[in-house]
Amino acid sequence: MAFHGVVGFVGLDDLSLDLASSLLRSGYRVQAFETYEPLINEFLKLGGTRCSSPKEAGKDVSALVLLTSQADQINDATSGLQNNTVLIFNSTMLPLYIKNLQTCFTADYKPAYVVDVYAMKAVSDSLNGKIMIASSGSSNAILKARPVLSAMCEKLYVFEGEVGAGSKIKMVKELLEGIHLVASLEAISLGTKAGIHPWIIYDIISNAAGNSWVFKNQVPQLLKHSKGAPKDHLPDTLVQKLGVILNLAKSLTFPLPLLAVAHQQLILGSSDGNTDDQDATLIKVWEKKLGVKISDAANAETYIPEQLASHIVAKSDMVKRIGFIGLGAMGFGMATQLLKSNFCVLGYDVYKPTLTRFANAGGLIGSSPAEVCKDVDVLVMMVTNEAQAESALFGDFGAISALPSGASIILSSTVSPGFVSRLDQRLQNEGKDLKLVDAPVSGGVVRAGNGTLTIMASGTDEALKSTGSVLSALSEKLYIIKGGCGAGSGVKMVNQLLAGVHIASGAEAMAFGARLGLNTRMLFDFITNSEGSSWMFENRVPHMLDNDYTPLSALDIFVKDLGIVTHECSIRKVPLHVSTIAHQLFLSGSAAGWGRQDDAGVVKVYETLTGVKVEGKLPAVKKDFVLQSLPAEWPLDPIGEIQKLNQDTSKTLVVLDDDPTGTQTVHDIEVLTEWTVESLIEQFRKSPKCFFILTNSRAMSSDKATALIKDICTNLHTAAKSVQDADYTVVLRGDSTLRGHFPEEADAAVSVLGEMDAWIICPFFLQGGRYTIGDIHYVADTDQLIPAADTGFAKDAAFGYKSSNLREWVEEKTAGRIPASSVASISIQLLREGGPDAVCEHLCSLQKGSTCIVNAASERDMAVFAAGMIKAELKGKQFLCRTAASFVSARIGIIPKAPILPKDLGINKERNGGLIVVGSYVAKTTKQVEELKLQCGQILRSIEVSVAKVAMRSAEEREEEISTAAEMADIFLAAQNDTLIVTSRELITGKSPSESLEINFKVSSALVEIVRRITKRPRYILAKGGITSSDLATKALEAKCAKIVGQALPGVPLWQLGPESRHLGVPYIVFPGNVGDSGALAELVKSWARPIRFSTKELLLNAEKGGYAVGAFNVYNLEGVEAVVAAAEEQQSPAILQIHPGALKQGGMPLIACCISAAEQASVPITVHFDHGTSKQDLVTALELGFDSVMVDGSHLSFTENVSYTRFITFLAHSKGLLVEAELGRLSGTEDDLTVEDYEARLTDVKQAQEFIDETGIDALAVCIGNVHGKYPASGPNLRLDLLKELHALSSKKGVFLVLHGASGVPKELVKGCIELGVRKFNVNTEVRKAYMDSLSNSKKDLVHVMESAKQAMKAVIAEKMILFGSAGKA
C-alpha cells in the first residue's frame, strides 16, 4: 500500500483508536502521545508508534490531531511543527476556544491549516457503527486536511468557513437527545397512568412514528432498572451539557423553550441528592417526583399485542357491507383499500367532490351518515375530531338512527381516551347491541391507501372479532391493546405526544443550527445518522429544508392531538412540561395562520421570532460579486502549453456526446453519428487530436444507454488496436446542468476500458453560464448565480436531482455508493494559485478509482486544469471524464473564433426560407420561443405541433398532425418564409422517468417525420434542444458524419453535414435547450434571416469588388417591374428598379408598392431607386416612401446652390440609411418629357467634383462625359473617357461610386470601357421603353396577351444589358 504521510495524535480515547486504525489501513503512519497505559497499549497493537512527549508526536507530521485542551500540551506539540502541517482539533472544546487557538496558530505558523472535527460512530441503519466526522475550516485548510479526514472515517461532512462547526453540531445533537429523553419519560409516565403496560408502549412506539433513537435505545435500560443510567445520560451530566447550550443560546438571544423546560426537568431529577448512588436511576427519580409507579407497571405481567391480533383476525366474522364516514386524505385511502379488498363500501363525506371521486373509484355513496349505515355490518369513522364524531353519530340524519342492531363501529379518529370510554357507554345505552372498537391509526396517507397502516385497537372480544377482517385489510401491523375501549386511543395519544414533541424539537434544533451558521442540509444528514434522530425528524425536517409546507398532515392536527395530551395529563395529574410547551408552539403556529399548512410549519414560529431561515436551499448570489471575490486568475495562458503537450502525447480525445450540443465550444472537428469499427479505424488513421461520437444516449432508457456505451467502447478498443500507435482518452460529454445517465454511462465505460485512476466531473460551461464555485454548481440568470438544484433543469422528469453541491450530487446519483465525503475536489484557489503543476500533483495523489470534481469560473481555469491533467496523463495516469463542453475545447487547445454568419458561408444571397425546429421543453427554451415570435413575427411563419396528438392520441391523429405540419412547412418555405416548427409548450410527463422518456421519444420521432417529409430545401436548419438536434441530423437528414464549422452564437454549434445527408450544403445549427438569454434565439434567427431588402449601397459595393456594373432600369407599370425581375432572376443578376418623377406622378404609391414588393419577393438582390429628384419637396417625400436610394438632381442649379441642395437631402437620407446619388455637370436630351437643350449641357469638372463630394457627402456621382438622355445622334456617342479616368481616380479616393446616365445606345465596347474606368451603375430607359412601345404595335387578342408580349420584349432588352454590364451570374 502506498505511503501517504505521518499523522500525529496528542491524546487518545476509545474513538480516536478507531480513527488511528482507519488511518493505518489507508497507508498512513500514525504516532501518538498518551499517558493512560491501557489506551496506548491498544494503540501499539494497532501498529501505531508511541511518542514520549507531545512535541515528539508533532514531529515531521502532515497532520496533528489534538484531543487535549491542556494549553501546555498543545504548545509543546506545536512548538516544532513544519509549515503546511494541518492542525485537527477535537470538538469537545467550545467553538470560541478553537477559534482563539486558530488565531494564535495563524499568527505563529505561515501558512497554518486549522480544522476542527467532531467524530462519532453513526447509529443509523445505513452507517451503523461506522465513523462519521463533521469538520470545519477555511477552504484551503479543508483542501489540505481532506485526505486525512477522509481516511479517518466512513462519512465526512465538511462545513467550510470558521472553525467550530463540529462543536456546534455536537450541541444540536445533544439538544435533541436531552429533549427526547425527557419526552420519552413523559410518554411512559402518561401511558402508565392511562393503564397501559410500559413495555407494550415501548414495543408499539418503537415501531411507530413516535420513535426516536433515545426512546428505542434508552427506555429499555431505564425500564430494566439498569444500575445507573448511561454515563452520558446521568442527570448531572445532562444538566451540565444542556446548560452550556442554553448559555450559548442566551448569548445569541435565541429562545430554546423545549430545551429549557427539559433542562428544568433534569435539574428536578438531579436535585434528589442520590444521583451519585448508581442504584438511583432516572426512572426512580422520576417516580419519586411525579408519583407515577413506572417500575411496578413495568414488572407486571405483559402480553404480545400482535399475537392477540392474530387470534382475533383468525376468528373474525364475515363482513359484507361497510359504511365509511370521513373521506378525507386518510379516510379516502382507507376506504379505497377496503374496496380493493373486495368489501362493499358505502361512503359519506361533507365535501361533495370527494364523494364523486369515491364513486369513480368504485364505491357507493350516500347523502348523509344515516344513508350509508343502512344494512351495514361495520361502520368505520375517520373524522377529524370528537365534535365531528358526535355529530356524525348522533346529529341530524346521524348514523346511530340507521345502524342495524348488532352492528359494529370502528372509531379510527384520534380522540381522547375519555371520549372513547364515554362513547362506549352511550352506545350500550342505545339498546341496539352496538359494539365499539377503539382503533386509531398511524402511518400517513400513502400507507392508508395501500393497507399498511399501524392500528392500535381495543374493545370487547366480541367487538374485535366482528371487525377483525376489516382491521386486517387496513393494516400491516395490528396491535390489540388490553384495557377495553380507550386503551387503543391511549397508545395513540402517547405516540402523538412523542411525534408532536419530535417535530417541534426538530424545528428548535434546526432553527438553532441555522442561527449557529451551520449548513442545515448537512446538519440534517448528520443528525439522521446520530443519537439525536427520530422518525419525525427524518420525515418532517426535509419539508423545512425545502420550505415546502404543502399539508401532508396539517399543523392543526397536532394542536388537537397535543391538546388531548395536555387534557389527559391534567385529568390524571401527571405534569408533562415538554409536551405542554410543544403544544404551545403548535398553537402559536395556528394563531399565526399556518394551521392548515404542514405540521413541519411549526418551525416558522422560530423563524418568525428570530429571523433565521432553516430552509436548506443554497442562496442565489450576485454573479459579479462572487466572481470578483475569487483570487486572480493564473497569470499565464496555458493554451500554448496544452498544444505543445498534446504534441508530446499521441492520445486522441474521443468525446461520447449524449446529445449534439456538446460541440458548442469547438471548431474544425469531426462528428460521427455511427461507430462501426471501420468508421472508427478511419478516424484513428487520421490521427486527429479529437473527434466526437454522437450517442444521443440522453434520449434513451438507462439500460439502453448502458448497452450503447459498452458497444461504443468495445468498438473503440478494437479499432485502436487495429491502428498502430492509436491511443485515446474517453470523455463522456454530458449536460452542463447535470442531466443525463450518470453514473450508468461511466460504469459502462469502465466495464470495458478497465478501472481508471479517477473519474473527473467538470460541468463548467462559460457560454451557458454554468459555474462551479466552492463545489456548488451554479446556473447564471441575468446578474445572479442560481444553485443548479433550484433551477427548472433539476426538475427534469427523467434526470432530476436535489443537490447543487457536486460532492452531494455524486452521492445522490450513485445512491450512496460514492459518498460525498470520498469525492475529491480541485478548488479554484488551487487552479489560480498553484497552476497546472499543482493540478498534476493533486491528480497524481488521488487513490485509484477516485472521483474528483473540478471547480471553474473562467475559461482560464478550465485551461489550467486541462494542462495539469495532460501532465498527469503523461505520467501514466488514466482518467474518465464526465464534463460539459468547455472542458473539450480546453483539453485540445482550441483557440475560439468569432461566430459564423451566413455571409461567411456564402448563403447570405439565398432567398429561400430557413427552418427552425424546437423540441426542447426547458423553461429557457419556452421563453426564447416567446421572444422569437415577439421579435420576428413579421418574417416568421409558425407551426405548432400538438404533443398530446403525437404522443398520447391515436395513430390516426398522430399521422394527421405530422402530415399537416409537413405540408404547411413546405408551403411556407416555398414562399421564402423562415418557418418555425415548435411542439406545444404544455409539458406532458409520465408516471415514471421511463414513461417520460417514452413520451419524449414519440415527440422527437414526430419531429423527425415532419422534417423528413419536407421537400423544399431550406436556406438553413436550426434544431433547438439536444434530443431534437440529434434525431433530426441522424434520422431526418440521414447524416453519418459532420464537421463542426464553428459557432453561430457563443455556445451554439454550426455543423456541415456529410455528403451522404439530405439537403447537402445546408448549414445545420445545433441550438442547445439551455443556452443563451431569452433573446438569444431571436438574435440568431434575425442574423440568419433572408434579407428582405438589399441596399443599393450593397449592390454597388459588390459591383466595385467584382469589377462590373449594375443596371438601373426605369419602370412605369407592372409589366416593366416584372420584366426587370424576371430578367434578373433568369440571369442571376442584381438590378435596380428606378422610378422617375414623371412615372411617379402617373403611377403614384401603387407603383412604388409594386416595386418594393417585387424586390422583397425576388430571389436575387433588387433595390428601388428614386431618379432625378429635382424638387426638394419631391425628395423629402420620397425619403418616407420606402426607396432604397435617391438621386438628387441639382444640375439645373448653380454650383453653390447644387451643393447646398444636395447636402441638405444627403443629411436626411443618411439618417435613414439610404444611398444618395447626385449629378454634377448636365446631360442634354429628353427623359420623361424633361428636355435639356445642347446649349444648357455641360461636362463634369474634376476640381468641382472634388469640392462637391467633400461638401455634400454623397455616395454616388452621376457624371457627364458626353453621354445624353434619350437617343444619340447618328454619329454615335462621343464619350470623354480621359475625363472619366480622372473622375475615377478622384472617386476611388473618396469612396464614391460613378454612375453613367444615358446608357441606351452606347456601343458595347464603350460600355465595357466605362466599366473598366469605374462606372458601377448604368441608367437604362430609352431602349426598354422602345421595346415596350414596339410590342404594342403587334395585334393581340386579349389584354393579357398584350401585357405578356410587352413584358417579354422588355425582358429581352434588360437581359442583354445585364450580360453587357457583367452583372449576370453575380447575384
User: Which residues form the catalytic set?
Assistant: 492
Strands 1319-1324 and 1110-1114: parallel
> Which residue in the block uniquely carries the three cell numbers 489501513?
25
Query: Would you give the distance in Å from CA 584 to the centre of its chain?
Result: 40
Between CA 179 and CA 578 the distance in angstroms is 8
Contact 884, 770 (CB under 8 A): yes
Q: How many CA atoms lie within 13 A of 308 on its CB side?
A: 19
CA distances from 121 to 13, 133, 158, 541 (A): 13, 9, 17, 22
Would you call 759 helix, strand, or coil by DSSP? strand
Contact 1277, 1253 (CB under 8 A): no
Phi-psi region of 893 (alpha: psi -120 to 50; beta: other; left: phi over 0): left
Q: Is the link from the previous residue into 631 a cis peptide, with omega within 30 of 0?
A: no
> Which residue in the block uniquely carries the three cell numbers 367532490?
353
Strands 978-983 and 776-781: unpaired
Sign, CA dihedral 904-908-910-915, equals positive
CA distances from 535 to 228, 532, 540, 842 (A): 27, 10, 9, 41
> Which residue in the block uniquely carries the three cell numbers 445549427?
1069
Question: Hey, what amino acid is at 1059?
Answer: P
Q: Is the link from the previous residue into 111 a cis peptide, with omega within 30 of 0?
A: yes
Which cell goes with 1355? 425582358
The edge-to-edge listing of strands for the beta sheet with 378-381 is 364-365, 344-348, 321-325, 378-381, 408-411, 435-438
Q: What is the DSSP string of 844-870?
A: HHSPTTEEEEE-BSSHHHHHHHHHHHH
User: Of 1370, 540, 1309, whose CA–CA distance to 909 is shortest?
Assistant: 1370
The burial class, CB within 10 Å (0-12 / 13-18 / 19+), for 1212 is middle
Q: What letter would DSSP give residue 1230? A: E
Contact 855, 773 (CB under 8 A): yes
User: Of 1093, 1144, 1131, 1135, whose CA–CA distance to 1113 is shortest?
Assistant: 1135
User: Of 991, 989, 1220, whose CA–CA distance to 1097 is shortest?
Assistant: 1220
Sign, CA dihedral 779-782-785-790, equals negative
Question: Hey, what amino acid is at 1181?
Answer: T
Which cell goes with 1359? 437581359
Query: Would you give the distance in Å from CA 814 to the centre of its chain?
Result: 19
Q: What is the DSSP string of 528-577?
A: HTSTT-BHHHHHHHHHHHHT----SSBHHHHHHHHHHHHHHHHHTT---H
Between CA 131 and CA 19 the distance in angstroms is 8
Between CA 592 and CA 1069 the distance in angstroms is 55
Q: Where are the alpha helices (DSSP H) in 156-234?
A: 165-193, 198-205, 213-223
Give the count of beta carbons closer than 10 Å to the beta carbon of residue 893: 22
Which cell goes with 658? 449524449
